[in-house]
Amino acid sequence: MNPIQKRSSKKISLALSLVALVFLVILLSLLSAGLLAFILKRVGIIDFNTESNPYIPLYIMIYIFVFFGVVIATLLSRRSVKPIRDMMKATNKVATGDFSVVVKGSSIFELDTLAMSFNKMVQELRGIETLRSDFVRNFSHEFKTPIVSISGFAKLLKEGGISDEEKEEYLTIIIQESERLVDLSTSVLNLSKVENMQIMSDKAVYRLDEQIRLAILMLESKWSEKNLHMEVTLEDEIIILGNKNLIQQVWINLLDNAIKHTDNAGKLKIGLRREGHHALFRLEDNGCGMSDETIRHIFDKFYQGDASHSMAGNGLGLTLVKKIVDLCEGTIAVQSELGQGSVFTIWLPMGIENSEYIK
């Protein structure tokens, strides 16, 4: 039994509460009207034995009943609609950017469920706002640092009076920082492009295994520099129908991320095989792994698990991967433990019924 079901067993429905409210108003109005009529009769203000107009006592009772009904209904309704008024006030606060509000529960099931959903929504918005603020700060840092480096070393080159060795070193740094800016701008543009796409376009039939082999070769300089052992098991001639350029970014980003977070002389296991009408890709590393908190947010836009920025990155690569996989109507999953490495698994629909390779 989930939390909502557990709580609902102790709540009453909105319809039942309204019926109970109406019944209570009528009952209290009748009792109040009867008590007042009895008191007025005892003090001699009202005579119920009026023979000239026998309807006068009835009219008086109706007026008293209506009066007490309005008063009692007003008092009870103010209490009944209090949860709704609290919700309205909380909504106005959220609209102004205050995500610290919390709405209390209610004895009415529907209003209590609404309060739970509202609090969950505010919590998610608060998390998104935090991630957005972190991203702005991180993006500013990532963008500003290479610009400062380029500007500083360019000024040193312009001033002159440096050795050829220093000149070569400064030019190398300028080139590296320029490449960092290009990578950052490319990631932002690619993510923006994918976010604006609703369906996958420009599809073509091609060999997925060859595409992954090419991605591994493209990153050879990086994994060779760290002396990583690559254990590659790709089933031959797995044909897929998809956007070749977009899907290529999935393998590049995943492999680059795994290489980045794997220690020197570590191991990467890369696998690809058919599973029914899907292609199953698996990437395993024995790197630093991730905490549960990082796993929960790893595909979130703006998120970086490494708050210290000790590793290069901008927190957009895995977000881009998730967006592309979703566009392909595939799924992606991650398993990881701190110090135990990570495993990324992707299922992509092949989109064709036969396995014949079409060039």
Q: How much is the pLDDT for 317?
A: 80
For 53-95, write each residue's pLDDT tens digit.
556 666 666 776 777 777 767 776 666 667 777 778 888 888 7
Q: Which of 40-49, 157-166, 314-323, 348-357 has the highest mean pLDDT?
A: 157-166
Note whether residue 342 is domain-resident.
yes
Asked if residues 240 and 211 have their Cβ atoms less than 8 Å apart, the reply is: no
pLDDT band at 231 (very low <50, low <70, confident <90, very high): very high
| pLDDT surpasses 60 at 149 | yes
Is residue 135 in some structural domain? no
The pLDDT confidence band at residue 8, using thresholds 50, 70 and 90, is very low
Domain span at residue 259? Answer: 204-349
pLDDT at residue number 299: 83
- Residues 180, 305, 152, CA angle at the centre, nearest 5°? 30
Q: Which among 59, 5, 7, 17 has a CA at the least distance from the CA of 37? A: 59
The answer to the question of residue 340 being in a domain is yes
Is 242 part of a structural domain of the chain?
Answer: yes
pLDDT band, residue 301 (cuts 50/70/90): low
What does the pLDDT read at residue 12?
61
Looking at the predicted structure, is the pLDDT value of residue 287 above 50?
A: yes
CB-based contacts of 1-9 (< 8 A; 24+ apart in sequence): 4/113, 4/116, 7/105, 7/112, 7/116, 8/109, 8/112, 8/113
Predicted confidence at residue 279, as pLDDT, reads 95
For residue 255, count CB atoms less than 10 angstroms from its CB and return exposed for 0-12, middle for 13-18, buried for 19 or more.
Answer: buried
Given phi > 0 = left and psi -120 to 50 = alpha, else beta, which region is 302? left
Query: What average pLDDT does this structure show over 288-306?
Result: 77
3 state SS of 271: strand
Let me know if residue 63 belongs to a domain. no
Whole-angstrom Cα distance, residue 77 to residue 63?
A: 21
For residue range 215-229, what is the model confidence (pLDDT) as tens digits?
999 999 889 999 999
Q: How confident is the model at residue 51 (pLDDT cuts 50, 70, 90)?
A: low
Q: Supply the CATH number for residue 209's domain.
A: 3.30.565.10
- As to burial, measured by CB atoms within 10 angstroms (0-12 exposed, 13-18 middle, 19+ buried), residue 80 is middle
Stretch among 186-190, 201-205, 312-316, 344-348 having the lowest mean pLDDT: 312-316
Spatial separation of the C-alpha atoms in residues 130 and 125, rounded to whole Å: 8
pLDDT above 90: residue 132: no
Is residue 31 in a domain? no
* Range from 29-38, 66-75, 305-314 carrying the lowest mean pLDDT: 305-314
Structure confidence at residue 50 (pLDDT): 55
Place of tokens 């008092």: 75
Number of structural domains found in the chain = 1
Q: In the predicted model, is pLDDT for residue 293 greater than 80?
A: yes
The more confidently predicted of residues 213 and 306 is 213
∠ CA 38-39-41 to the nearest 5 degrees? Answer: 65
What is the average per-residue pLDDT within 160-175?
A: 87
pLDDT score of 284: 94
Task: Report the 10 Å Cβ neighbour count for 8.
Answer: 16
Please indicate, yes or no, if residue 328 is contained in any of the structural domains: yes
Please state which of the ranges 22-26, 122-126, 154-158, 202-206 shows the lowest mean pLDDT: 22-26
**Would residue 61 count as lying in a domain?**
no
Backbone conformation region of residue 282, classed left if phi is above 0, alpha if psi is from -120 to 50, else beta: beta
Grade residue 304 by pLDDT with cuts at 50, 70 and 90.
low
Give the contacts of 265 (CB within 8 A, at least 6 positions apart): 226, 227, 228, 229
Query: In this model, does residue 46 exceed pLDDT 80?
Result: no
Mean pLDDT of the chain: 78
pLDDT of residue 263 exceeding 60, the answer is yes
- pTM score: 0.56
Taking CB atoms within 8 Å and a gap of at least 24, the contacts of 195-201 are: 195/323, 197/327, 199/327, 200/242, 200/243, 200/246, 200/327, 200/328, 201/243
